[in-house]
Amino acid sequence: MQLIVSGSSAFELNNLINEPLTGRKWEYHLYPISWEEFENEFGYVKSEQELELRLRFGMFPDVINNKGEENEVLNELVTSYLYKDILAFGGIRKPEILEKLLKALALQVGSEVNYKELSRLIGVSKNTINSYIDLLAKGYVIFKLPNFSKNLRTEIRTNQKIYFYDNGVRNAIIGNFNPLDLRIDVGLLWENFLISERLKKNDYYKLKATPFFWRT
């Protein structure tokens, strides 16, 4: 028997499927719509015209299909998924900590994340910050980008950057959907957008490239 099992909640799938099925399954990651898919559907000219909207509202199918209602769709998505699914399946007992952490991560996209600094800012232990970030990564809300170093030990020790899989989710968390000419975080939006698009391409095309960030 062949089954195709899909769902929007990675947590729910992972928690309810107890059998590991090692060697008997193929896993596919379905990200928000990629720019390539978007351009293939709407054409080059229309895609370029909507680029600012995609930087502000992201690439979730419901967001793209409900033009003019992006704020409502994203706020519902963030409320129902981030604050219900992750709390329910992640075993998080203090939702206010999750909310503060998400806002802190959203505001420092593109910067190196220091777990000790986050623990002081939010008022919880470094281990708690680490476990919450791992839960958000397993729930496909954020992903980590390690620092490149020729010394593997140094690479493991150094700080990482953290990005959101979708710009719209990031903007919903901080409550800012303003046009680009009214924003001070345009560079962060571009960086998050481009890094997430590269991630999709690497996965969909099976490119065996390990992503890093590097700075002199």
pLDDT digits (tens, 9 = 90+) for 1-46: 888 877 666 666 666 666 667 777 777 888 999 999 999 999 999 9
Angle at 24 between CA 20 and CA 25, to 5 degrees: 80
| Neighbour tally for 197: CB within 10 Å | 16
Look at residues 12, 11, 13, 129 and name the one whose alpha carbon lies nearest to residue 3.
Answer: 13
Residue 211 lies in a domain: no
As given in the structure block, the two tokens for residue 58 are 């992201």
Residue 14 lies in a domain: yes
Residue 29 lies in a domain: yes
Residue 212 lies in a domain: no
Residue located via tokens 């990629």? 34
Residue 153 lies in a domain: yes
Residue 2 lies in a domain: no
pLDDT digits (tens, 9 = 90+) for 36-51: 999 999 999 999 999 9
Q: What are phi and psi of 96, to 5 degrees?
A: -65, -30
Task: Report the pLDDT value the prediction gives residue 91, as an integer from 0 to 100.
Answer: 66
How many domains does the chain fold into?
Answer: 1
Residue 5 lies in a domain: no
Average pLDDT over residues 99-123: 92
- Strands (E) in the chain, as ranges, are 112-113, 142-145, 160-164
pLDDT digits (tens, 9 = 90+) for 185-215: 999 999 999 999 999 999 999 998 889 998 7
- Which domain range does residue 36 map to? 10-204
pLDDT digits (tens, 9 = 90+) for 136-185: 888 889 999 988 877 766 655 567 899 999 999 999 999 999 999 999 99
Residue 1 lies in a domain: no
170: buried, middle or exposed (CB in 10 Å: 19+, 13-18, 0-12)? Answer: buried
Query: What's the pTM value of the predicted model, to 2 decimals?
Result: 0.88
